[in-house]
A = this chain, B = another copy of it.
Amino acid sequence: MAMKLYDYGTAPNPRKVRIFLAEKGVEYELVQVDMTKREHKSPEFLKMNPSGKVPVLELDDGRYLSESIAICRYLEGVYPQPNLFGTDPFEMGHIEMRNRQMETELWSQIGVSWVNGPVMAKAGIYTQIPEAKAASDVNVKNYYERLDGELAASDYIAGSRFTVADITLLTGVDFASTMVGLKPDESLRNLWRWHALVSSRDSVDALQ
């Protein structure tokens, strides 16, 4: 029995895990959860993940893990090669730091723009706060500029090789570009050079 990954096509968090699994060369079964039908809030799904979010990994012994980076960390333990989280304590700390900066400083702001943007307004799930979206749109654009500066001195986002932090940034930027109307400006050449480098990897699926 293979592992199962509960996924939803355009959602960025399951995409992180799909790229991570492809880097590791692991076989698994993909199960689609239709978020437009609120299947991720069904009683069956909440038994796997009480938070009602994709992705969920079902292990071959029937245990579950959720939260994309937690799933990746489990996979790193079981399939250590290629290393994506760091090999010594300082590198592990540094990669975690960079990954968290991408999450708390960029993804969080993309998320605010997403839940207060036109797609989610139509879904009618959250009270819309246009002032929050106005602020987060600006924060995302400013952060792209910071990243462009940082990537002038570095091929990858957490040092000289591809790591989980690149996966987090790529999936965030692609989601922002295609679903949230926050594509980085063409003038940000270092950011786009990094984007082309990372997107060319065999593990990175074409955008849906």
Query: Which residues of A line the B interface, CB within 8 A?
Result: 50-51, 59, 63, 65-67, 69-71, 73-78, 88-90, 92-94, 96-97, 100-101, 104-105, 108, 126-127, 129, 131-132, 135, 146, 150
Contacts and interface: CB of A to CB of B under 8 A. Distances in A.
A159 to B, nearest CB: 13
Which secondary structure dominates where chain A touches chain B? Answer: helix
Nearest to A76: B89
Contact of A69 (B75, B88, B96, B132): B96
B73 A93 contact: yes
The copy count of this chain in the complex is: 2
A100 B63 contact: no
A78 B69 CA distance: 22
B97 A66 contact: yes
Contacts of A71: 93, 97
A51 B101 contact: yes
A78 to B, nearest CB: 5
